[in-house]
Amino acid sequence: VPLDAVTGNLAGGHYLRVGVTVQFTDKVSASAAPDGAPALDQTISYFTGMSATPLETSAGLVGAKAGLKSKIAAAYPKAPVYDVLFTSFVVQ
């Protein structure tokens, strides 16, 4: 499920523009893919107020992806999440 890219406020006057695609397991049929709104909401809430500094490193990006995947997976208890992919990621 590809999500529209969103812009969110980070700490210290920075902002993040992020695009995300959520991959569900094969237990979720492509024709019955879940609504992306809960994942988009979790994406916005996860990054809002976060410091920009760790997001500017590879290790920080890996950590952010893991944390976001956990939050998104919790929003879909009946549709197991396989992975979360960043399709765009700009910190300003």
The string of pLDDT tens digits covering residues 15-64 is 999 999 999 988 777 677 799 999 999 999 999 999 999 999 999 999 99
Q: In the chain, helix, strand, coil percent, each to 5?
A: 40, 30, 30
H-helix segments, 2-57: 37-47
pTM for the model: 0.91
